Structure formats: structure tokens, C-alpha cells
Structure 1
Amino acid sequence: MSQMQQAWIDFCEELKGSVDYVFADDQVTESPIDEAEGVRHVVRSLVKACLATFENADPRLPELAWFHPSKMGLDNPDALYQSAPIDLVHDYEFSGNIGSVAYLGIALMSMKWGTGDFEFVRNIHVSELGADENGNFTVTLSSQPDPGTTGRPWFQLPAKRTSLLVRQFFSDWESESLAALSLRCLSEDPPASRITPEQLASKLRSVAAEVNRVPPFWNSYYREHIDRGEVNSFEHIEPTPPEDVGSLGGATDQAYAECWYDISPGQALLIEVEVPDCVYWNVQLGDIWGQSTDWVNRQSSLNAGQAVLDNGTLRVVVSEADPGYNNWLDLGGCTQGQILFRWNQANVIPKPVARLLAIEDLPAAMPGSEAVLTADARSAADARSAALARRRRAALTRFRR
């Protein structure tokens, strides 16, 4: 048997038990569909690990590639995520146009999902890029001091291997233009384009280890809400964000509010919150595995450009059946999972108030006609259908699909 055959057999053996946690006796699955989604989460993690390990792993040929669907750790429905490996023993040119997205976040950070082994090297604020009046910029990332001869921003950073992570958050999916970004290693050292048997075996081991580690990590992390009694309630939210938000890959200039939801048919969770002054905010649903639920074809998320407020108050209805309100989050058959708010650069961190109600009790709890999609049932169905069609077009356009 060849070395490569043995490496492949070892890889398959290491992956065999990667779905065992999905079928554990203490798992919170309620149906075969939940189990199927758990296995799909493992497969998605396998795809993501393979792409990052085999196709975009050379820091001398970095690809600032977007990844979709990442479907882990409650990925943001409003986002375009991009990542590239870099090794700051080399110099890099980072350039492009900042576009008009609601939030553009740029971070240098190591990302070892599921281990808690995250290290933020530096956040780069858009204002530091030195963009011209048209939004164009060019900066240098280097471990060397600024020679003072380039005439452009220079970021001196530790000489270590890390990743460049870009978050682009869209509030208006249809009109905001994405940032067009490029990353180039300035090293003249020619990279190897082919893979050796030893490298292949090592990468296969790395992929298997990530797939065995990451999906159960997120499931376990979100299930802790149940253990702490944080179900259909945000009472646990503190007025200041935790200092370790970056240890889970979160944006360090962003506060979060999340809880577990458990909503039966015929029920609705009404959430009310005063929206703070902030650069960007959203609310979304996720399943028991930490996957964002279908936000392309269903209204399972809302943001400042999509929701209707009542004098600064956001009222969101979470239910299976469509109650006919603008601010409805569609469970899509997922009766348990996560609700997550993001508040980006907010002046205060609000605490949402959640109430579990019968569907028929919603009208008395929803003041103001602005909450109603439309008074006529047929028109409401048409309005919802049109909104979902626009949502799908805008989402797929974002990813050039």
C-alpha cells in the first residue's frame, strides 16, 4: 500500500466518528430533520476546512476569498465574509475600494475554531486606510518599520503567521455596494504550486481534526444557554460586552445579545428592544447546531434597513405561522435554536425583553398599525411574496450567484 493510500484510509477513519455527537442520547434533537441538519453541518465544516487547507493556504499567494455558506457560529445573514492567510515575515499590499456597506471590519487574527485559541493581532479601522474621495486606498502590512518613502499608510505588525479577516455588513441588501478588495504578497520568493505526499498527509490530518472539533464545539456552546436557563429570555445580558468576545471570533467593536428559543406551534415569541445609536444592528435565528437558518429564501433575519420601528422601539415576532407583521422572523420548521442580536459600535447595550404568547394574543400586544404588513389578507400574502423575492435576488447578487 502506498503512502498516499494509507493517508487516505487514515483520513476516512478519523472522520468516521465526526457525526457521533449528533446522535448522542443527551442531544436536543426533536426529529430526523434535526439529525439531518446536524450531519449537514458536519459536511459543511468538511467543505470549509478543505477549502481553507488545500485551496487558500499559501501566505505567499493569498486569496482574499469570500466563503459561503460558512453556516457555523451563527454566521451573519447580512455579511460577506472574506479571509486570507498571511505570514508577516513577508510584506503585503492591501488595496481596493471601500464601497458603501453599512460596516466594513478588517482584522488580523489567528482563527482556530473550537479551541478558543484566537489571537487578535490588530483591527484596522476604515478611517486608517487613507481612502481618497472615491473610496480607493492602498496600504502596506509589514513587520518592518515604515521607511517613510511610500506615501501611503503603513502598518507595522508582529512577524507572525495569521489571517486577514474582512467583514462586510449590508443593511440595504439591494443598494449598498460591496468593498472591492485585493491582497498581494510582495515577496519575490517563488512559491511551490504542487503538493508533496508529506504535505498532503499533514493537510488531511488537519482537516479531519477540524471537522471532529468544530461542529460539536458550536453545538455545545449554544446548548449552554439551556443549562443557564437562558431560554426565551435576555435577562442575562450585561450592560457591558464581555472582554473575551474575540475568543470566539466575534468582532471586538460589536456587542451581542443571544439566547436559546423554544417555540411550539401556535406560539409566538414577542421581543421588544429600544434600538441604540449604532453603526449597524441586526437580529437573526439559528438552529441547535449554530447554523444560521435559511435567510436567502425566508425572513429569518432583520436589520436596520429591513425592520419597521415604532418611535425607536423594535418589536419582533418569532413564530412558525406568518402573523402578518413586518417584523416577523420565520422559524421555518426549526422549533428550537438561537436568537442573536448584534449592536455594532453602539452607544449603549440594550437588554431585549421577550414574551412567549399565543398567536391569537399578538394583536393586543402589538400597538401601532405600522407593525401590520397590510390589512387585507390577500394583499399581505402578495406583499410577503414580493418581499421574499427581492430578498432572494439581493442575497444571491451579493455572492455573484
Structure 2
Amino acid sequence: MSQRRVWSVGLAALSLAAVSMSARAQEKPAQPPAPVPGWNEIVESLRTLPERMLAKLPEPMRSDPQVQQEVGRLALEALASQSLSAIGADGDFPQFLPSIGQVLNVGQPNADTLYRSAAITPGGTYRIRGLRRTLNHAVIAQGIRGGGQLRPQIFLSDLKADTDGRFELLLSPTRPAGYDGDWWQLDPGAHMLLLRMVSSKWGQEQSPTLAIERVDRPMGRPRPTATVLEQRLRALPKAIDTLALMFVDHHEQLRSEGFINKFTDFNVGAGSLQGQFYYEAAYELAEDEALIVESPVPMKCQYRSLILTNEIYETTDWFNNHSSLNIDQAAPDADGKLRIVVAHRDPGVKNWLDTAGCSATNWMRFARQSG
């Protein structure tokens, strides 16, 4: 009897040991600390980003290899745009950095527009100097964190300039005593300056040159601290997500609301420019069909354009396709109506827009118009 009890206890001990070893084997090993704090969070967010973007699209698009790869490209574009900002944006030592465009093709950039942005520190005083040059127009808007109102904006053409086109603009929350030059009041919440440089006569106009500096603190840029650099890294996942996810399903929303080959106005809210109006439509065409866009033209309008996008709201490549037309490229007909023809192949008529194989979105804008 005694021997049997010992044997039973021995088996129980072995069984408990086996369970304990099995439980330890199933436990995940502790993750080593990140060699660069903040880096692992970026990598993990990027790992799931394409899946989260595709989840906003209907099943036929999610399973389309073409759309899948274009979503991957859009994710890279958002990563590149926001990484450039994380590396170079500094409100104390600002510079106008590329934000979106033909390569960083996020949020349907306008084919005629160069987009730049400069970080600023709320409460700071800045000076912008440069040459106005000859573009259709160039405008700077203030980016206000948490602001629901329209962004304050200023056109370079409204600034005083010498005979060579040189200008100087001071920006601050309050006008300095005795200062009588061009001055622009900064909103207390302004953290960014957004520059749009818009052309209409390609090959004939010259873009402005601008330099910005903060003037209310000593010169000299010290080495950024580890804390500052880590903050920039940790802000990247949210910034990339915001840009990548913002418009990826916008075309599909137009379709679901019934705006197929039919325009609706688009209110971009606080992000819009004063005096600029936007209209958009999803288009759907067979290979042998054409869509004729007809619009009245305002009596007075400094700029207008029509561009095309693909299904995830990237602007159709206008460098290599005839996929955009502006006020100096498409004139109204004799009856005063503007007519533009959207087709997969050149129909042999004026004002043709090439779809480049897409069936997606038309985007029309009018700027500084009246009548």
C-alpha cells in the first residue's frame, strides 16, 4: 500500500511539472526593448495599413489585384509625405516642404498646383521674402489645429512689390509697433502655412520663390533633443493613417450616393479656399462611350480646371496623359458654355480628357469667380 501511494505521488509530481513546462512553453517570450523608441509603433501601424484601407472599399475592389497594388502605392505616398514632414518640419526653423503632388499623389492634387507647407510655432513671428513671378495665382493659407472656420489666406498678388517683383511679408499675432510694411495676422492656433502655387499657361509662367524665417528668437539651430525626435516618430502613425484613409473610399461614396455621370458640389469645409468652389462626379464609360461635361462659365473667373482621378482618388497622371484642362487650355464655345469630353480614346474633338484606363472621378474647380 505504501509503495502504491509513493508511486501515485510521484506521478502527480511529474504531471504537475509537465503542465508547468507546457504553460511556460506557450507563454510568449518577453519582447526586447525597442532599440529606437517609437520605431516599432510605426512598423506595426504600417503592417496593417493596407488592410485597413482595403476594408473601406467594397468586396469587388478589395479582391481586385490592380486596386490592391494601388492601395499599397497610396499607403507609400502617405508614408513619404508625412515622413518628409517628420524629418524637416520645424516651427522654429521653418521651410516650405513638398506636401502632395504628382508623385505624392494623395487627396487628388490639382494638376496645375504645386503644394508646399511650412510648420510654424503658435505665437511666433515670421518673415517671408521672395519674388512673386508670373503664375496665375499663389496663395498662402493658415492651418489651424482644431479650427472649424475657414482658414485665413493671403494672395501674393495682393502684396506690395518693387519693380523686380520682390516682396516682404511679416506674420505675427499682433502688428509690431511702428511697422508699416505688409503684415498678416496669425491666428493664435495657427501651426502650419499651406502654400499653393497655381499655373495655367504651362511653359510660359514662372513660379514664385519664397524664403521663410522666424525672427523673434536667436539665430542658430541646436541639435534636436532625443525627446523631440521621439515625439516626431510617435506622431507618424496617426499622421500617416489620417492621410492614407481620408479619401480612399471617396469615389465609392459618390457612386453609392448616385452621382454617376452627374455632378454634385463638394464642400471641403475649413480646408477650402475663400472664393473657390468645387464640383465632382463619378464617371462610368464603356470603351466606345464619351462623357460630355457642359458648364456655364462665370463672367469673371481667375482660374478654373477639370481633372480626373482613379478609383482611390489619386489624380490621373497628367504628366504623361492629357487628363487635365484649365482656363487657358479649354475655351468656352461660341454660346458661352464650356464643354469637355471625357473618353478612353481620343475622339478627335477639342477639350478631350484621357481617362488613362480608369473609370473614376471628375473634379472641377472655379477660383476667384463672380457673375
Question: Which TM bucket (shorter chain)?
Answer: 0.7 to 0.9
Out of 203, 209, 217, the residue aligned to residue 180 of structure 1 is 209
| Alignment check: 8 A CA contact 2:248 2:312 kept | yes
Out of 261, 276, 284, the residue aligned to residue 283 of structure 2 is 261
Aligned to 2:325: 302
1:53/1:120 CA distance change after superposition, 3 Å? farther
Whole-Å separation in 2 of the counterparts to 1:61 and 1:309: 46
Whole-Å separation in 1 of the counterparts to 2:221 and 2:174: 25
| Alignment check: 8 A CA contact 1:60 1:191 kept | no
Trace 1:132-281 onto structure 2 (pairs within 5 A).
132-148=162-178, 150-189=179-218, 193-234=222-263, 236-237=264-265, 242=267, 245-247=268-270, 249-276=271-298, 277-281=300-304
Aligned to 2:18: none
Larger mean CA deviation between 288-297 and 195-204 belongs to 195-204
User: Quick one: which amino acid aligns to residue 216 of structure 2?
Assistant: S
User: Quick one: which amino acid aligns to residue 126 of structure 2?
Assistant: Y
- Aligned-pair distance for 1:6? 5.2
| Alignment check: 8 A CA contact 1:98 1:179 kept | yes
Provide the aligned length of Structure 1 versus Structure 2. 334
Structure 1 unaligned runs (5+)? 349-401
Larger mean CA deviation between 277-286 and 116-125 belongs to 116-125
Aligned to 1:17: 48
Whole-Å separation in 2 of the counterparts to 1:332 and 1:125: 34
TM-score (norm 2): 0.82
User: Quick one: which amino acid aligns to residue 20 of structure 1?
Assistant: E
Whole-Å separation in 1 of the counterparts to 2:106 and 2:60: 18
Out of 79, 93, 110, the residue aligned to residue 61 of structure 1 is 93
| Alignment check: 8 A CA contact 1:108 1:120 kept | no
- Aligned-pair distance for 1:154? 2.0
| Alignment check: 8 A CA contact 1:11 1:205 kept | yes
TM-score (norm 1): 0.76
1:33/1:118 CA distance change after superposition, 3 Å? farther
| Alignment check: 8 A CA contact 1:85 1:163 kept | yes
Larger mean CA deviation between 21-30 and 45-54 belongs to 21-30
Out of 80, 87, 90, the residue aligned to residue 121 of structure 2 is 87
- Aligned-pair distance for 1:197? 3.8
Aligned-pair RMSD on alpha carbons? 2.4
Whole-Å separation in 2 of the counterparts to 1:273 and 1:257: 11
- Aligned-pair distance for 1:156? 3.0
Whole-Å separation in 1 of the counterparts to 2:149 and 2:51: 30
- Aligned-pair distance for 1:54? 1.6
Aligned to 1:291: 314
Whole-Å separation in 2 of the counterparts to 1:3 and 1:21: 25
Structure 2 unaligned runs (5+)? 1-31
- Aligned-pair distance for 1:127? 5.0
User: Quick one: which amino acid aligns to residue 282 of structure 1?
Assistant: S
Whole-Å separation in 2 of the counterparts to 1:46 and 1:118: 26
Out of 156, 159, 169, the residue aligned to residue 126 of structure 1 is 156
Whole-Å separation in 1 of the counterparts to 2:143 and 2:36: 35
Whole-Å separation in 2 of the counterparts to 1:70 and 1:123: 24
